[in-house]
Structure 1
Amino acid sequence: MKAVWWFRTIMMFVYLSLLLMAVGALVGFIFNSNFIYWSLAFLAISLFVCFFSYYNSKQMALKANKVRIIRREDNPRLYDMVAELAQKSGLPMPEVGISYTPVANAFATGRNPENAAVVATSGILDLLPDDELRGVLAHEMSHVRNRDILVMGIASAISIVISYVSQMAWYAAIFSRDSENRGMIMLAALAAQIVVPFAALLIQLGISRNREYLADESGARLINDPMALARALQHLERQNDATVQSYTLEDMARKDRNTPDATLNICTNRNYAHMWISNPLKKKGILESMFSTHPSTESRVARLTELAKKMGQ
């Protein structure tokens, strides 16, 4: 099954790359230049952006989510669980951190297993029993082992470049001096401005959901207890729905980071929503499956339940 998830991820990256090269070719057409050179130039730009994002991903994520790196004496329960799972995974011991927010959640970050950090919120440490917390941490360690931080960093960077180049194509079309093909150029640039970034976003979100399914399966196999992770996901969804709804929009918009309400913003930052095990910004509705960074809890639990049956549990 793991090979299936990797194949789907690779195909989505192929689609993203084709989108980028198509927009680059459009810019080349507008400037009456060689299409292939423009396509390759923008592909090179995306690779540079990917590298920068990849190299700095850990520090950016820790800072944005106000994480405090801990030692064993600060929280032996959390530290020992991460150490146990790292050993079982055959991975180096990652840094362990706590983000002080009432929202129960966890995430992993770092450009590679040697530079990783596993973070839990104070909310999840208070909420989950040991077996469920171990399931959540196994999910996060699987993200590290599967190099999902790198995968999503690249996907995000390519999507950003695609949006930028699409915008560039539109402005280039506006100021184009090609009067003979102006109508066709404007139409193509308008389509690129509207459709291409939207398509890139859908592909990026699809990659994110794909990696969550893979981490669920890998984590469940790591602890040999799919239902512990399934219970944790259900527990997190119920608790976080209640926690987030207890805050008004005015509370969530406060700028003062020293107020208790401001700690909620840590887990509701859209730029990092894809990193958490449970998406704090999920929306319900028929389009949820298309526009969410995470699969629905129902579908994740169903897959974990099926995995438990296959494992004879």
Structure 2
Amino acid sequence: MKRIALFLITNIAVMLVLGVVLTLLTSVLGIGHGSVGYLVVLAGVFGFGGSLVSLQMSKWMAKKSMDLQVIDHPQDEQERWLVETVASQAQRAGIKMPEVAIYHGPEMNAFATGPSRNNSLVAVSTGLLYGMNKDEIEAVLAHEVSHVANGDMVTMALMQGVVNTFVIFAARFIAGTVSNVLGGDDEESGEEASYMTYFVVSMVLEILFGMLASVIVMYYSRQREYRADEGGAALAGRHKMIAALERLRNNHESSMPANMAAFGISGKSAMSELLLTHPPLEKRIASLQQG
């Protein structure tokens, strides 16, 4: 319930802010409501704007929604080892030291988030700490540090912004065309019917276009996982990375929110591989073995 409440409150606040930005932009640019120019600005503000705001808030959202325990001062040998391992890997990867955190979860998982390569966070689950040995944990940490070093959070946000903008513009442009063609003769009833047609068609098209766009985003996400696996192998050792992935075969289903699960070592299941954020473990292991 806490995650849902935080998600709703945050998204309402973001929508209000973006609404104000849209009003100011269209006013300054002198763009009239209902024009193609207005639609382009609207799609850009809510498509790109939403993704970029989410990126900037990603660390804060992760800490609040998952009750992360950030390790500011290590309390025991395990926490000290985690911080030192990430620090060593970050230095070799050429990035600023990420924050390191632990969260409670039965699954063996970890994720990286943050608005940039030099402002990031790496978190691991208690299930991973108790379910893997140090070599395997080191490989998982290296995988997450590689996500940060590769700039995956920024790239994913930009890609999501592009597809969101396309979905919003295309759906509303087509819906506007359809509603104008099917508008009634009577002015009052025609306007009401035209509005309802626009609303229904735009909602349906946003869902359909959104599903198609997700296939593109998920494809990139899977390719990114292969690169992070290779980065993890380079930082921790190929045999350790393979061993960590082998261990994940007996993992629990990820309980992380979708926006963070995409950057985890282990993803969620789906009806089709086209909708997976992570490639099947068998393919990831085979890729490392062939490398």
User: TM-score by structure 2 length?
Assistant: 0.72
In the alignment, which residue of structure 2 is the partner of 1:124? 128
CA–CA distance in 1 between the matches of 2:170 and 2:148? 33
Would you say the 8 A contact 1:169–1:192 is kept in 2? Answer: no
Residue 113 of structure 1 and its aligned partner are, at CA, apart by: 2.3
Structure 1 residues 81-90 or 115-124, which shifts more?
81-90
Q: Unpaired runs of 5+ in structure 1?
A: 1-30, 245-265, 308-313
Question: Per the alignment, do residues 95 and 194 of structure 1 end up closer, same or farther by CA in structure 2, a change over 3 Å counting?
Answer: closer
| Equivalent residue letter for 1:61 | A
In the alignment, which residue of structure 1 is the partner of 2:20? none
Would you say the 8 A contact 2:144–2:263 is kept in 1? Answer: no
Would you say the 8 A contact 2:146–2:231 is kept in 1? Answer: yes
| Matched positions, count | 245
In the alignment, which residue of structure 1 is the partner of 2:3? none
| Equivalent residue letter for 1:236 | L
Aligned counterpart for 1:72 among listed residues 71, 74, 80: 74
CA–CA distance in 2 between the matches of 1:72 and 1:85? 18
SS at match of 2:115: coil
Residue 269 of structure 1 and its aligned partner are, at CA, apart by: 2.9
Post-superposition Cα deviations, 1:98-147, rounded to whole Å, max 9, x if no partner, equal: 01111110011111122111111111011111111111111100011111
In the alignment, which residue of structure 2 is the partner of 1:236? 248
Post-superposition Cα deviations, 1:233-281, rounded to whole Å, max 9, x if no partner, equal: 12023132xxx4xxxxxxxxxxxxxxxxxxxxx82433432121101x2
CA–CA distance in 2 between the matches of 1:271 and 1:174? 34
In the alignment, which residue of structure 2 is the partner of 1:88? 92
Question: Per the alignment, do residues 189 and 54 of structure 1 end up closer, same or farther by CA in structure 2, a change over 3 Å counting?
Answer: closer
In the alignment, which residue of structure 2 is the partner of 1:306? 290
In the alignment, which residue of structure 2 is the partner of 1:11? none
Aligned counterpart for 1:205 among listed residues 218, 241, 264: 218
Would you say the 8 A contact 2:269–2:276 is kept in 1? Answer: yes
Residue 51 of structure 1 and its aligned partner are, at CA, apart by: 2.5
Post-superposition Cα deviations, 1:18-56, rounded to whole Å, max 9, x if no partner, equal: xxxxxxxxxxxxx9x775774465335433223212211
Question: Per the alignment, do residues 203 and 79 of structure 1 end up closer, same or farther by CA in structure 2, a change over 3 Å counting?
Answer: same
SS at match of 1:199: helix
Q: Unpaired runs of 5+ in structure 2?
A: 1-31, 185-193
In the alignment, which residue of structure 1 is the partner of 2:24? none
Aligned counterpart for 1:154 among listed residues 129, 153, 158: 158
Sequence identity (%): 30
| Equivalent residue letter for 2:58 | S
Residue 155 of structure 1 and its aligned partner are, at CA, apart by: 2.9
Aligned counterpart for 2:103 among listed residues 85, 99, 104: 99
Question: Per the alignment, do residues 45 and 269 of structure 1 end up closer, same or farther by CA in structure 2, a change over 3 Å counting?
Answer: closer
Would you say the 8 A contact 2:219–2:277 is kept in 1? Answer: yes
CA–CA distance in 1 between the matches of 2:81 and 2:143? 17
Would you say the 8 A contact 1:94–1:114 is kept in 2? Answer: yes
Would you say the 8 A contact 1:166–1:197 is kept in 2? Answer: no
Post-superposition Cα deviations, 1:183-215, rounded to whole Å, max 9, x if no partner, equal: xx98x9698445422211111111211111111
Where do 4+ consecutive residues of structure 1 move more than 6 Å? 188-191
Post-superposition Cα deviations, 1:52-111, rounded to whole Å, max 9, x if no partner, equal: 122112111222222110123341121121111112212211111001111110011111
In the alignment, which residue of structure 1 is the partner of 2:19? none
In the alignment, which residue of structure 2 is the partner of 1:15? none
Root-mean-square deviation (CA, aligned residues, Å) is 3.2
In the alignment, which residue of structure 2 is the partner of 1:261? none
| Equivalent residue letter for 1:107 | F
User: TM-score by structure 1 length?
Assistant: 0.68
